[in-house]
Amino acid sequence: MKARFGFSLLICGLLGSVPAHAGLFSSTPPAPKQALASESTLSQIQAAFDDQRYVDAGKLLNQALVSSGSDPRLTYWAGQLSLARGRYEDALANFTRIKTDPSVQGLALEGEGIALARLGRSDQAMASLKAAVAANPSAWRAWNALGSEYDRRHDWAQADGAYEHAISASGGAAIVLNNRGFSRLSQKKTDLAIQDFVAALQKKPDLAPARSNLRLAMSMQGEYDRAVKGAAGTDQAATLNNAGYAAMLRGDYAKAKDLFEQAMKKKGGYYAVAAANLETAQNLAKGQAQDAGHASSR
């Protein structure tokens, strides 16, 4: 759940510090105060971002920075675009810079928390995300990220609460439904997880993680044929491997071995993950047989 386009150098240059005015009697006139970006420009940047047209969003942002480089809302969008491109350190620098500005504080704290989470700095992420939802209780992306952080801690009650807030505030965004579904799957609430994955796909049929997670949840219920049915092209090998992993977790080692072998055949070349899983399943099956043998000899 990623195209990358480098524009951070331009952003850093345009958003860099301005030298202090030389003094009252300096022959150098003070720089004119930069105007704020127009609402139209900001709307265009947001529309491009929402449509995942990151190249267009970057061009619009760079143009706006020429005349309105001091506008904190542009710094916020620079952070958002860096997040989308996986440039988490750049994103963090932008959000941290503006998080004390009252006009964008809640948004900046949310972005900062998400960037910190992506960088694996979980404790700091939690602090920023909690501050974000305290500043703006409808910040659904912050609630969603909090849910993921609670999942990492296996704090299921807090995770459920965070996802409920995120779903309510976002109107049931597909990505939140998918994340809650995976949380429920981790809690072995498979039926509820499947409901969430189906709901996510109804909202966004092309949401690949939700489709993969739905197949995994079906496999966890032992519905292996249903789980792998319809997997297309390059997804077939991964789908078979995931189904095999679910079978292995269920203790169905014979089916797991069969699915891992199918996955390796579909891959066409060497499939390291499936091969490692196959070896694990074989070892677990041997251990199971030895335990059964010991039990029968008593």
* Residues 117, 69 share a domain: yes
Q: Is pTM beyond 0.85 here? A: no
Q: Does residue 60 lie within any of the structural domains?
A: yes
pLDDT of the residue at 16: 32
Residue 220: CB partners within 8 Å, gap ≥ 6?
185, 190, 246, 249, 250
pLDDT of the residue at 287: 78
In angstroms, rounded to a whole number, what is the distance separating the alpha carbons of residues 247 and 85?
35
As for how many domains the chain has, the answer is 3
| Helical H segments across the chain, by residue range | 8-14, 39-50, 54-68, 72-84, 88-98, 105-118, 122-135, 140-152, 156-170, 174-186, 190-203, 208-220, 224-228, 235-249, 253-267, 272-297
* Residues 112, 53 share a domain: yes
Domain boundary among 173, 189, 221: 221
- Residue 223's alpha-carbon distances to 25, 128, 214, 244, in angstroms, are 81, 41, 11, 11
Ranges of residues in the chain whose predicted pLDDT is under 50: 1-33
pLDDT of the residue at 215: 95
In angstroms, rounded to a whole number, what is the distance separating the alpha carbons of residues 216 and 241?
10
* Residues 73, 99 share a domain: yes
* Residues 51, 121 share a domain: yes
Q: Does residue 19 lie within any of the structural domains?
A: no
pLDDT of the residue at 14: 29
pLDDT of the residue at 125: 98
pLDDT of the residue at 185: 96
Structural domain including 262 reads 230-290
